Amino acid sequence: MIDTTVTEEELREIFSDVLDKGTSCAAILVCYRKDGEVRTEIGIPYSLSDVLEIGPYLKNIVTTPPHDYERRKKRIPISAIVVCKRIELSDFI
């Protein structure tokens, strides 16, 4: 099994300009362990506090979270994260 290489401090540093804000200029690609598998998600990082909370929205990213955000968000424990990468949204939209 791959050792976790990502810490909360690293995530805060990488995404300091987008966490806990209503708008975002970056997405996150994150690989994490769940149920014995490594899974991959791409989304907008919204908050970070022992878990990384991401939304699956790459549209309407300059507005507040969508009305169904609570139902569709992902909460990923930081201890499960294997690797992550910042994706600048300006690179593809």
Q: What are the structural domains of the chain?
A: 8-91 (2.30.30.520)
| Average pLDDT over every residue of 2-27 | 79
CA 62 – CA 47 distance, rounded (Å)? 16
Share of the chain above pLDDT 70, in %: 73
CA 84 – CA 33 distance, rounded (Å)? 12
pLDDT per residue over 61-88, tens digit each? 455 656 666 677 889 999 999 999 998 8
Q: What's the mean pLDDT when you consider all of the chain?
A: 79
Q: What is the pLDDT of residue 66?
A: 61
Determine the distance from the C-alpha atom of residue 25 to the mean position of all C-alpha atoms in its chain, rounded to a whole number: 12
pTM of the model: 0.75
